[in-house]
Amino acid sequence: MQTNILSQDAAGEAVPSPKLYLSIKNLWKAFGTFLALKDISLDIHEGEFICFLGPSGCGKTTLLRAIAGLDLQSQGSMTQDGQDVSTLPPSERDFGIVFQSYALFPNLTIEKNIAFGLENIGRGKAEIDARVQELLALVGLPDQGKKYPAQLSGGQQQRIALARAIATNPGLLLLDEPLSALDAKVRVHLRHEIKELQRKLGVTTIMVTHDQEEALAMADRIVVMNHGIIEQVGSPTQVYRHPSSLFVADFIGEMNQFPARSAGEDLIDLGGTIVKGEKHGLPKGAPILAAIRPEDIIPHGMGARSPGAEDIIITPENAVDVEVREMEFLGSFWRCRLHHDMFGTEDLIADFSINAVRRLGLEEGGTMNIELDRKRLLGFNLEGCHND
Amino acid sequence: MTDLSQQGLPAGPVIKGKLSRDDIIMRGGMIVIALYLIVSMVMPLYAMLSKSFSTYHVDLSQYEFQQSDKDGVFDGTSLSGAQLNSQIPVYAPKDLNTGADGRLSVTKWFPDFSFRSPVKYRLRNVSPNGRFLVSSTLYTGTDWVELDSNKFRRVQLRPIKTTGLGNFVNYFSTPALFQSIKNSLWISVVSTVITVTLAFWFAYALNRSCIRYKGLFRLVAMAPILVPSLLPGIALVYLFGNQGMIKELLFGASIYGPIGIIIGSVFFTFPHAFLIISTALAISDARLYEAATSLRTSSWRTFWTVTIPGARYGLISAAFVVFNLVITDFGLPKVIGGQFNVLAVDIYKQVIGQQNFEMGAVVSVVLVIPAILAFAIDRFVQSKQVALLSARSVPFQPQPDEKRDRALFAYCSLVAVFIIGLLAVCQFAALVKFWPYDLSLSLTNYQFDKMDGGGWGSYFNSIQMALIVAVIGTGVVFFGAYLVEKSNGFKIGRGLFQMVAMLPMAIPGMVLGLAYIFFFNNPANPLNMLYGTMAILVICTVTHFYTVSHLTAVTALKQMDREFESVSASLKQPTMKLFSRVTVPVCLPSVLDISIYLFVNAMTTVSAVVFLYSPKTTLASIAVLNMDDAGDIAPAAAMGMMIFYTNAAARIIHLVISKGVLTRTQAWRFR
C-alpha cells in the first residue's frame, strides 16, 4: 500500500522520484533471547526523508544500525542502490551518519573534523579546503573552522556533525536521534534547517526519533514502530489522520478513547447513543474502542445552538449537548473537559481555539453543543489494545 | 533457539557479516597480543604448575647387575639394585626421591671396585621403565649392557618422573617450610592493619581537614614508590641493626625478623594504601554531611555513620592490595628477615640455594593461592566502588577546625618524618666512609665497580631496561586495550583477552620469575635463546606490570565516545588513522601515566627478575640485593638511593613532558 502514497500526498510537498533506493526484506534481529526486530520489510525511495518513530525499545535504533551495518541483523536481506549489502561491514556501505552524541573528534578543529572523511580518497589539499569551506557555509557556520568542538554550542556541534557526514556526498544519510540532546528552541530551529538541507541535497535520509512532533514536521514518510514490528508506514497526515492501529493513534498526537460497540460498519454505539464515524468495518455488536482527537471536536455554542451554526450541516446523530466541566488555558488554545453520559465517567477532552471560546462565550459549568467530526471519529477493534 | 523460533524467528543460520580490512587488522592485532600474554605468562605458569606435580624417584628394583671374575667371565648370577642396596645400604629411602636432574652412581655397591681392575660388569633395566646413563648416553632398553670397570664408574641411575601430589605432601610434612605459611600470613595481616590505619588518617587529614602543606605531604607519601622494597630494610639495619644508631630503642629485640619486615612493609606499601583510600575519601558527597549536621549528629557519630561507610570499599580494597604486596614481597624479608622464613624467600632459597626446582614450584603454588584470593576480593570490591559515584554528588569542602587541624598536622608530620627519615638514613649511610668507625663523608661507596653486583653497568642496564619497558610496554598495553575495547563482535576472544590481561596482577613476581625458568630455560623450547638476555627481562617486567597499565588504558578508552569508530568507518577511513589521529592524542595523559608507571616499576622490581638476570644483564635493584648479601651494605644503600633519584628525575621529566604535551595537543580541553 505504501508505493503509491507519495504521489497521492496531499500536503503538496515535493514528490520524490519513485526510484527504489533501499529495500529491506524480512529482517530479524535477536539479542540473546530477545527479538529486537521481527520480520521487518520496508522500501525506501531515492531522495525520501524517512523517520523511524516509536517509544524507546521499539527497535528503531536497532533497525538504523542494521542499515548502517553497525549491528548486523540475525536474518534477512537488504539491497541499497541495487547492490546487496546484507553482509557488508559499515566501511563498505555508502552512508553518512550523525549520532545523538555528535561524536565529533575533540582534539581536531572543526575544519579537520569535516575534512576527516575527505582525506585518502585522492583529493588535493586545496580541493579539500574548498569543500570544507563550502560545507561550513552550507551549515551556516562559515567562521568557526579553526575552533575546537568544545568551543561550540550543542546545536553548532550538531551542524558540524552533519557537515562531516555529508562531506563525501553519501547516498544515504542516517540520523540517530540527532536533536534529542538539544534545548527545545534550538531543536525546532535545527529541524527546520536539517529538512531544508536535505531537500537541497536530495539525499535519501533516515532519521530515528521518539519525538512525534519532530517526525511529523520533517518526514516525507513516517515508519511507526513498536515492539520490533512496523505498525504503520505513511505520510505525516496519513499516520495522524488515519492511524492504522490504536497504538499509532495513541502514540502520535492525543486521542480520546471510550469503550463502545459497533453499530454497523461506520456506526458506533457510545453508551446507547449511536454516532457516525469513519468506516471501521467491524460487525454490529462487536466491542470496539471509539477514538477522536481533541481538535476534531467541533464547538457549536453555549446552551442552545449558536446563531452562526445553522449553516453548518449537522448530522443529528453526531451532535450532542455536553457540560463544560473544566477549562484550561494553554496559550494558543483552550483545553476543555466535557461531560456527557455517553462517555461514561471519563471526560471528553476538546481543544478549542481562543476565537471560538470568545465567540461562543464558553465558561466552566455551562453546557454547550458539540459535534464529533464524523470523518475523524475512529473505531478500533478492541483486540488492538493488546498491541500496546 | 527454540524460544526464539516460538516467537517466529525463522530457522536457519544467523547471518555472518563480511569482515572489513579493519576488522581483520584489529582481530589479528588482538590475537598477536593475546599470544604474547599466553607465551609470556600462561605457558610459563603451566610449566611451573606441572613442575610442582612432578616427582622424581629412582626405583632400584628396576635395575639388574652382573659382575664377572678377574678374567671377565660372568657366572650368571644377577642381583637387582634393591638387593645390592640391602646388602650394602648406600642410599637411604629419601636419597631415592630426587629432582629432575637426580643421578645415582652405582660403584659403592661393589666394595672391591676399582676402575683399573679387569673385572667387567653388566647391567640392564628390568622393564622399559628404568633409565640409566653411561657417561652421557641414555639406556632405556632391557638388554644387558656390558661395561669394563672404567666405563662402569660412569654409570648413573636416573629417576622416573611421576605425576602426583608427592611434592606437596613432602612440603606440608616439612615443619620448617610449613612454618613459613604461618609467618607470611602473620606479618602480612599485621602490616596490613598498621598500614591501612596509618594511611587512612593520613588521607583523612589531606582530604577532610584544612592543614597546610597538603601538596608536600602528598609528595612525601608517594616517595616510597620510587625505591625498591628492600631499601627500607637497609635503612632499618643502619638504625636498629647490630651496630645501629638507635638500636637501644628496641630494648634488646632484634630488628632482623618480623619487626623489621613489618616496619619496612609499612614503609613501602604506604603509598599504595594512601592512594586508594584518598580516592575513596575524595569522592564523598557533601550532602550527607549537611544532612548529618542538620540532624545535629555528633561529629564522632558522623565519622562512624558517614565517613567510614563512604570509604569502606576503599579501605577494604587498600587492605587487600597491601596484604598482597606484603605476602608476595621478596626483597625486604631477604634483607632484614634474618632467620624468619617467609614464602617468597623460601622460593628463592629452594631454587637458588638448594637447586630444588620442584619444591620452589610447590612453594610458588602455595603463595599464589592467598595472592589470587586477595586479588579477586579486591577486584570484586573495586567493582562495587563505582556505583557510589553519582553525577549529583556535591564535593565535600572541609571547614577549618583549629584543634583537629593541629592534631592532624602533627600526625602527618610524624608520618612524613618516618618516610623521609628512612630515605635520609640510606643516603647518610651511602656517604659515610665506614660506619660506625669512620664517619667522614666520601663517595667510596659509589665505586660500585669494586663490589659484587655488576657495578655501574647494572645501573645503566636498569635504565636501559626501564626505558625499553616503558616504550614497548606502553605501546603493547595501550594498543591491546584499544583493540579489546573498540573492536566489533568477536565477543569470546575479547572476553578471554580481558581475563588474561587481569591475571598478571594476581601472580607474585617470584612465581612469575620461577615460571620463566621452567619455561624459557627448557632446551626443548625454541624461545630458549631468550634466556639470559635483556629481552627476557623486558618481557617479564612488561607482563608482571601488565594489569594496572591495562586498566589505566581501559579507563581512558571507556571515556572516548563509542561511536568514533562507527563514524570513522562511515567515512571510509581506516581505524588505524582514527587511532593515531584521535585516540592516542586524546588519551595521551593516560599513555604517559602508563609509561612512567612501567619505568618506575622496572627500576625497582626485584622479585621477578632475580631469577632471570645474567652476568651481562645485572640490574641496579638486583645489585642492591647482592651487595647487601655480600655485606656491602653501604654501597647497597648508595645504589638504592641512585634508583630513588633516577625515579624522582623520571617523574619530574614526566611532569614536564605531560605539561608540555598537554598544552600542545590538549588545546581542545581549554575553551
Q: What average pLDDT score do residues A56-65 get?
A: 93
Query: Do A327 and A221 share a structural domain?
Result: no
pLDDT of amino acid B3: 65
Q: Amino acid identity of B450?
A: K
Query: Do A381 and A273 share a structural domain?
Result: yes
Q: What average pLDDT score do residues B5-10 get?
A: 76
Distance from CA of A114 to the nearest CA of B (A): 10
User: B597: domain range?
Assistant: 22-49+449-669
- Tell me, yes or no, whether A344 lies in a domain: yes
**Integer Cα distance of B68 and B171 in angstroms:** 44
pLDDT in tens, B627-663: 998 888 899 999 999 999 999 999 999 999 888 877 7
- Tell me, yes or no, whether B578 lies in a domain: yes
Longest dimension (CA), chain B: 110
| For chain A, percent of residues with pLDDT exceeding 90 | 52
**Residue at which a domain ends, from A200, A221, A250:** A250
**Residue at which a domain ends, from B161, B189, B211:** B161
Residue with cell 471510550: A258
pLDDT of amino acid B400: 87
Query: Do A214 and A88 share a structural domain?
Result: yes
CA distances from A83 to A27, A50, A74, A175, A385 (A): 17, 20, 19, 22, 40
pLDDT of amino acid A6: 41
Say whether B12 and A39 touch across the interface (CB within 8 A): no
**Residue at which a domain ends, from A250, A281, A302:** A250
Q: What average pLDDT score do residues B375-381 get?
A: 82
Q: Flag whether pLDDT at A315 surpasses 70.
A: no
CA angle A268, A273, A279 (to 5 degrees): 15
Query: Do B630 and B612 share a structural domain?
Result: yes
- Tell me, yes or no, whether A220 lies in a domain: yes
Query: Do B569 and B550 share a structural domain?
Result: yes
pLDDT in tens, A11-31: 445 554 579 999 999 999 998
Partners of B564 on chain A (C-beta within 8 Å) are 103, 105
- Tell me, yes or no, whether B356 lies in a domain: yes
Partners of B569 on chain A (C-beta within 8 Å) are 70, 89-91
What CATH number is given to the structural domain containing A291? 2.40.50.140
**Integer Cα distance of A361 and A369 in angstroms:** 12
Query: Do B665 and B642 share a structural domain?
Result: yes
Q: What average pLDDT score do residues B223-241 get?
A: 93
- Tell me, yes or no, whether B538 lies in a domain: yes
**Any B CB within 8 A of A31 CB:** no
The total number of structural domains that make up chain B: 3
Q: Flag whether pLDDT at B189 surpasses 90.
A: yes
Least confident span in A98-107, A165-174, A203-212, B70-79: B70-79
Query: Do A84 and A24 share a structural domain?
Result: yes
Ordered strands of the A172-176 beta sheet: A96-98, A172-176, A204-209, A49-53, A221-226, A229-234
Q: Which residue has the higher pLDDT, B5 or B117?
A: B117
Q: Flag whether pLDDT at A363 surpasses 90.
A: no
Q: Flag whether pLDDT at A308 surpasses 70.
A: no
Partners of A72 on chain B (C-beta within 8 Å) are 15-17
Partners of B19 on chain A (C-beta within 8 Å) are 89
Residue B5 sits at φ, ψ, to 5 deg, of: -70, -25
pLDDT in tens, A90-127: 999 999 999 998 899 998 999 999 999 998 888 889 99
Query: Do B42 and B104 share a structural domain?
Result: no
Q: How many beta-carbon pairs below 8 A join chains A and B?
A: 125
**Any A CB within 8 A of B559 CB:** no
pLDDT of amino acid B498: 87
- Tell me, yes or no, whether B189 lies in a domain: yes
- Tell me, yes or no, whether A79 lies in a domain: yes
Partners of B563 on chain A (C-beta within 8 Å) are 99, 101, 103
Q: Flag whether pLDDT at B353 surpasses 70.
A: yes
Say whether B581 and A68 touch across the interface (CB within 8 A): no
Say whether A148 and B668 touch across the interface (CB within 8 A): yes
DSSP-derived pairing of the beta strands A204-209 and A172-176:
parallel
pLDDT in tens, B272-304: 999 989 988 887 777 788 888 888 888 888 888
**Integer Cα distance of B501 and B480 in angstroms:** 9
Query: Do A299 and A241 share a structural domain?
Result: no
- Tell me, yes or no, whether A158 lies in a domain: no
**Residue at which a domain ends, from A250, A271, A300:** A250
- Tell me, yes or no, whether A33 lies in a domain: yes
**Any A CB within 8 A of B569 CB:** yes
Query: Do A338 and A238 share a structural domain?
Result: no
B666: confidence class by pLDDT, cuts 50, 70, 90:
low
Question: Is A322 strand, coil or helix?
Answer: strand
- Tell me, yes or no, whether B438 lies in a domain: no
B14: confidence class by pLDDT, cuts 50, 70, 90:
confident
Query: Model's pTM, two decimal places?
Result: 0.85
**Any A CB within 8 A of B7 CB:** yes
**Integer Cα distance of B591 and B584 in angstroms:** 8
Query: Do B190 and B114 share a structural domain?
Result: no
- Tell me, yes or no, whether B657 lies in a domain: yes
The total number of structural domains that make up chain A: 2
Query: Do A194 and A293 share a structural domain?
Result: no
Query: Do B368 and B461 share a structural domain?
Result: no
Q: Which residue has the higher pLDDT, A7 or B539?
A: B539
| Closest B-chain CA to A77 | B15
pLDDT of amino acid B509: 92
pLDDT of amino acid A311: 41
pLDDT in tens, B586-636: 899 899 999 999 999 999 999 889 999 998 999 999 999 999 988 888 999
Question: Is B202 strand, coil or helix?
Answer: helix
Query: Do A286 and A375 share a structural domain?
Result: yes
Q: What average pLDDT score do residues A65-83 get?
A: 93
What are the cell numbers at B373? 584470593
pLDDT in tens, B137-178: 888 888 888 888 888 888 888 888 888 888 888 888 888 888
Partners of B589 on chain A (C-beta within 8 Å) are none
Q: Amino acid identity of B490?
A: F
B378: confidence class by pLDDT, cuts 50, 70, 90:
confident
Q: Which residue has the higher pLDDT, A387 or B626?
A: B626
Asked if A222 contacts A239 with a C-beta cutoff of 8 angstroms, the reply is yes
Nearest to A172 by CA among A321, A339, A45, A285: A45
**Any A CB within 8 A of B664 CB:** no
**Integer Cα distance of B483 and B464 in angstroms:** 28
Q: Flag whether pLDDT at B472 surpasses 80.
A: yes
- Tell me, yes or no, whether B13 lies in a domain: no
| For chain B, percent of residues with pLDDT exceeding 90 | 45
- Tell me, yes or no, whether B406 lies in a domain: no
pLDDT of amino acid B227: 94
B59: confidence class by pLDDT, cuts 50, 70, 90:
confident
What CATH number is given to the structural domain containing B621? 1.10.3720.10
Q: For chain B, what is the radius of gyration of the CA atoms?
A: 31
pLDDT of amino acid B15: 82
Of B16, B21, B665, Cβ closest to residue A87: B16
- Tell me, yes or no, whether A131 lies in a domain: no
**Integer Cα distance of A236 and A247 in angstroms:** 15
pLDDT of amino acid A307: 44
ipTM metric? 0.81
Query: Do A377 and A237 share a structural domain?
Result: no
Query: Do B201 and B247 share a structural domain?
Result: yes
pLDDT in tens, B66-104: 988 888 888 888 888 888 888 888 888 878 887 777 888
Query: Do B157 and B293 share a structural domain?
Result: no
Query: Do A177 and A233 share a structural domain?
Result: yes
Q: Alpha helix (H) ranges present in chain A?
A: 5-8, 60-68, 110-115, 125-138, 154-166, 184-201, 212-218, 236-241, 246-251, 354-360
**Integer Cα distance of B473 and B466 in angstroms:** 10
Q: What average pLDDT score do residues B484-490 get?
A: 83
User: A365: domain range?
Assistant: 254-387
pLDDT of amino acid A8: 43
**Any A CB within 8 A of B8 CB:** yes
pLDDT of amino acid B390: 53
Say whether A38 and B8 touch across the interface (CB within 8 A): yes
Query: Do B364 and B223 share a structural domain?
Result: yes
B383: confidence class by pLDDT, cuts 50, 70, 90:
confident
- Write the CB contacts of B386 (distance below 8 Å, at least 6 apart in sequence): none
- Tell me, yes or no, whether A118 lies in a domain: no
- Tell me, yes or no, whether A124 lies in a domain: no
Query: Do B282 and B303 share a structural domain?
Result: yes
Q: Which of B25, B668, B670 to mutate to test the interface with A (most CBs of A within 10 A)?
A: B668
In whole numbers, what is the pLDDT of chain B averaged over residues? 88
Asked if B231 contacts B640 with a C-beta cutoff of 8 angstroms, the reply is yes
Name, of B391-395, B431-435, B459-463, the range with top average pLDDT.
B459-463
Q: Which residue has the higher pLDDT, A8 or B240?
A: B240
DSSP-derived pairing of the beta strands A96-98 and A172-176:
parallel
B665: confidence class by pLDDT, cuts 50, 70, 90:
low
**Among residues 41-100 of chain A, which lie with CB inside 8 Å of chain B?**
68-70, 72-76, 86-93, 95-97, 99
Query: Do A261 and A246 share a structural domain?
Result: no
Query: Do B214 and B290 share a structural domain?
Result: yes
pLDDT of amino acid B386: 56
Query: Do A277 and A332 share a structural domain?
Result: yes
CA distances from B135 to A107, B151, B154 (A): 70, 8, 5
Query: Do B193 and B332 share a structural domain?
Result: yes
